[in-house]
Amino acid sequence: MKEKIRTAGSFFVQKEVEKHVGKHVEHIKGKKASSDVFHDEDGQIRRAELFGKEVITKLLNNSGGKEVFGIRIYYGHAPEDKDGNIKEGGKLRPRLFLVPVDENGKDIPFDASALKGEPNGNAVGGGLPCPQACNE
């Protein structure tokens, strides 16, 4: 379990994040109450998402040589399977995406080109969602 927590999350390119953020905006426009935003049609409520230390460290340390001053967290809606993995064809659910920002609050493109086995991407998403991966 320790390894699963430490490595939770994966990298996403900007276009993927923008698509998921757009789906989130579409989703909330159709809701009458803000409490409906994080409910799905089954009545489940998305409470949290866990991102591992290794993935966050890679995000902070591989920002094209720019100093990271913070992390912006974008709300999105992405398709996911029953285990909470982001997967095309799955059910749309609320998701979080982390993007490093510079001293002016601008998103910093993430440079994953030097990392073996990591796709290029400037954001982290796909953490362990709660309720599927909660410890309660």
Q: Name the region of 64 (left: φ>0; alpha: ψ -120 to 50; beta: rest).
A: left
Strand spans (E) along 7-136: 10-12, 48-50, 70-80, 91-101, 123-125, 128-130
- Alpha carbons 99 and 70: distance in angstroms, whole number: 9
Length of the chain: 136
* End-to-end C-alpha distance for the chain, whole angstroms: 15
- pLDDT category at 51 given cuts 50, 70, 90 is very high
Domain-wise residue ranges, the chain: 2-130
Which has the higher per-residue pLDDT, 83 or 120? 83
DSSP string, 70-98: EEEEEEEEEEE-TTS-B-TTSEEEEEEEE
Share of the chain above pLDDT 70, in %: 79
Share of the chain above pLDDT 90, in %: 15
Instruction: Report the b/e string of 52-64 with b at 16+ CB within 10 A.
Output: beebbebbeebbe
Could you read off the pLDDT of 87-119 as tens digits, one per residue?
Answer: 999 888 889 999 988 899 998 876 555 454 454
Q: What are the φ and ψ backbone dihedral angles of 42, each rounded to 5 degrees? A: -90, 0
Model confidence, pTM: 0.81
Instruction: Please compute the mean of the pLDDT values over residues 20-44 and round it to a whole number.
Output: 74
* pLDDT at residue 33, as a whole number: 64
